[in-house]
Amino acid sequence: MSSTDPKPSTAVLDHDKVADQATSYVAQFENTDTFVQSFQKFLHKYPIAAPSIVLLIAVFGFSLIVGDRFLSPFNLSLVLQQVTIIGVIGVAQTLIILTAGIDLSVGAIMVLASVVMGRMAIDYGFDAWLALLIGMSVGALAGFINGLLITRMKLPPFIATLGSWNVFFALNLWYSKSETIRSQDISTMAPLLQWLGETINVFGARLTYGSILMLAIFFVIWYALNWTPWGRHVYATGDDPAAAKLAGIRTDRILLSVYVLAGVVCAIGAWVLIGRIGSVSPQAGYTTNLDSITAVVIGGCSLFGGRGSIYGTLIGALVVGIFRNGLALAGVDVLWQEFTVGILIIVAVGVDQWIRRGTA
């Protein structure tokens, strides 16, 4: 022990002075990676690569099995329509998973907001824009409640949103009286609510305004996450909250803003939902919760927070859509479609763990 060394201090210093003569590289790696290791590093550096490869293989595979019918602009635009809701809700889920949280209430917020929008416009006869605005506010409020539970009461996100999921779903059944608002009523009284379901023809592809809105949301959130201080703070908060706090980030505020924004995005999803199914049903979108998590996970976002790309979620949603569509066109039973999606989730998380191990 140097601290009990009786010799004068200067002599004792020599013991690690020799380290100066050591090689100046703090860390040097022999580049002896095998192909597999290089691939692993590549996937780690570009988190969007793995889901993109799966998407390409799926498209290629199904075009071989099913043929031209699969690759037609009409069919591909149909896939895009089918993934629109999952895509929008997936954006909300991505934001939350980036902060190392999870939101089980996204689907319930969406349905609740759609019921509010429908009742405001039809039962109360409000202007459709006002009805949309009120629906968005309900989404924001729901997200705010989740955020408060997590930042103020320090509940784990899983538990907080498991609770609010049930609460929001019950409120939705109560407020809607478990009744569906019919499509005809909406189209006569508030056609704006269905507008996102209308299609425009682009080179034989039928794009809905909802799909275009979804792509716009992806772009806006991509910008916010990658080009604004807020986005950097979201990543830092999810990555290592203690380090983020030491850097002066108010992590609780960031979390709260993320949950509120996710609530608003869910409410936009409610508008898309009305466009997609035409009516307002308190029973719609029941599987959206888990589907959104599926899209995020297949898209390569880490459930531990701080890692992942918003576009990964778009690709993740497309992978699920392509598999469902391709298997259906190939005449495979629905239950095997579910089976395949389940396998995809497990493989995606397995690959994520493998990528992580390779660079630890």
Partner 1 sequence: MVAQYDKTPVIQTKGLVKRYGSVTAIDHADLELYPGEILAIIGDNGAGKSSLIKALSGALIPDGGEILLDGEPVHFTSPMEARALGIETVYQNLAVSPALNIADNLFLGREILKPGILGSVFRMLDKKEMEKRARDKMIELGLMTIQNISQAVESLSGGQRQGVAVARSALFGSKVVIMDEPTAALGVKESRRVLNLIKEVRDRGLPIILISHNMPHVFEVADRIHIHRLGKRAAVVTPQSHSMSDAVAIMTGAMEVDASTEAA
Bridge partners of 207, per DSSP, are 200
Residue 313: HSE in the Cβ half-sphere, 13 Å Cα cutoff: 33
In the complex, minimum distance from the CB of residue 17 to partner 1, in angstroms, rounded to a whole number: 8
Shortest Cβ 93–partner 1 spacing (Å): 19
Nearer to partner 1, 104 or 234 (CB): 234
Given a contact cutoff of 8 angstroms between Cβ atoms, the answer to whether 280 and 186 are in contact is: yes
Choose between 1 and 153: whose C-beta lies nearer to partner 1.
1
Cβ–Cβ < 8 Å for 112, 314: no
> Which residue in 269, 294, 295 sits closest to 139, CA to CA?
269
Instruction: Catalog residues that contact partner 1 under the rule CB under 8 A.
Output: 2-10, 12-13, 15-16, 19-20, 22, 24-27, 223, 227-230, 232-233, 235-236, 239-240, 242-244, 246-249, 306-307, 359
CA distance 102 to 105: 9
CB-nearer residue toward partner 1: 101 or 269: 101
116-122-126-128 Cα dihedral, nearest 10 degrees: 80
Phi, psi of 208 (to 5 degrees): -90, 155
Q: Closest CB to partner 1 among 235 and 311?
A: 235
List, in order, residues 6 or more apart from 74 with CB less than 8 Å away.
204, 205, 206
Cβ atoms of residues 129 and 295 within 8 Å: no
User: Which of 149, 137, 144, 163 minimizes the C-alpha distance to 267?
Assistant: 137
Region of 253 on the Ramachandran plot (φ > 0 left; ψ -120 to 50 alpha; else beta)? alpha
> Whole-angstrom distance between the N-terminal and C-terminal Cα of the chain?
33
- Is 57 or 247 the residue whose CB approaches partner 1 more closely? 247
For partner 1, the closer CB: 15 or 357: 15
Nearest distance from C-beta of residue 232 to partner 1, angstroms: 6
Q: Looking at beta carbons only, is 179 or 239 nearer to partner 1? A: 239
| Cβ closest to partner 1, residue 28 vs residue 203 | 28
Which two structure tokens, joined as six digits, stand for 7? 């010799």
Q: Smallest distance from the beta carbon of 301 to partner 1, in angstroms?
A: 12
At 52, which helix (H) or strand (E)?
A: helix 49-65
CB crowding 86-124: b at 16 or more within 10 Å, else e: bbbbbbbbbbbbbbbbbbbbbbbbbbbbbbbbbbbbbee
Shortest Cβ distance from residue 234 to partner 1 (Å)? Answer: 11
CB of 242 to partner 1, least distance (A): 5
Q: Which residue, 168 or 235, has its beta carbon nearer to partner 1?
A: 235
Query: What residue type is assigned to position 200 of the chain?
Result: I
CB of 248 to partner 1, least distance (A): 4
The maximal CA–CA distance of the chain, rounded, in angstroms, is 95
Query: Which residue, among 144, 114, 47, 163, has the nearest Cα to 288 in the 3D structure?
Result: 114
Which residue type, as a one-letter code, is found at position 270? A
